[in-house]
Copies of this chain bind each other. A is one copy, B any other.
């Protein structure tokens, strides 16, 4: 199968490596609108060749759109306008605005909305790594709106690169990702800012940074180009979660102010329950 990947960054590049390694793709055609990415992707052998978008659409059996979610809103209809038998998937972190953008499109059936739940805090072709997707979940959304053959092929693709598949409707997907992905980026960005602001008056502060701090603040290295469009598209869900998060912080603050450490400890024990879910 020939697969064209539009956007040779962390996700597009890593997907390319996985698809070649698994043998699911015989040929990978890369597309990127940034010259630096085109050059880098070839240098790193992330694609067999780089092409312009229209050619890449025509030559592919399957087209992966791995661009920021704001670009998807125009790119996806553009690509669907040009496909015939080909299958198109996106790998964006929001789903409702994406499927809305092509709800009435005559080629809607050729599109499968997906979200492989994998990533790192780095971006660009240099961030592409082998094994990024292995044993992780991928979500397929609103599968009933896609042609059956397209869904079957897309499932086979993700299984070929070692992913587990789960299905959600796009509305639930966006609520859930607000809770278990988007908010944690907000937490990290805000924590980084808080500490960096303090550093201005106390420049030795980071000498004491431990692995725990590094872990909590890790996502603050993430690309604003990727995340601002996600925050924008999932704004309403994210604002709900953010309010609940701030309320929990205010609760902690109130308990400290009133020296209610017994009650505070009960909350921490409840929070410990996260062990049940994460190794």
Q: Which A residues are closer than 8 A to B by beta carbons?
A: 117-121, 136-137, 139, 166, 168, 172-173, 175-177, 179-181, 183-198, 202, 204-222, 224, 227-228, 231-232, 235, 238-239, 241-246, 248-250, 252-253, 256-257, 259, 261, 264-265, 267-275, 277-278
Q: Verify B118–A210 contact, CB threshold 8 A.
A: yes
Given contacts A176-B205, A179-B198, A265-B228, A189 and B245 within 8 Å (CB-CB): no
Chain B residue nearest to A275 (CB atoms) is B221
Q: A190-B271, A195-B274 are in contact. List 20 more A-B contacts (CB 8 A).
A: A117-B209, A117-B210, A121-B212, A176-B205, A180-B210, A181-B208, A183-B195, A186-B249, A187-B216, A190-B249, A194-B248, A196-B270, A197-B244, A220-B274, A221-B274, A224-B269, A227-B268, A239-B256, A242-B256, A246-B249
CB distance from A193 to the nearest CB of B (A): 5
What is the bound-complex CA distance between A172 and B207, given in angstroms?
A: 12
Please, which residues of chain B bring their CB within 8 A of the CB of A136? 210-211
Given A246-B250, A274-B195: A267 in contact with B209 (beta carbons within 8 A): no
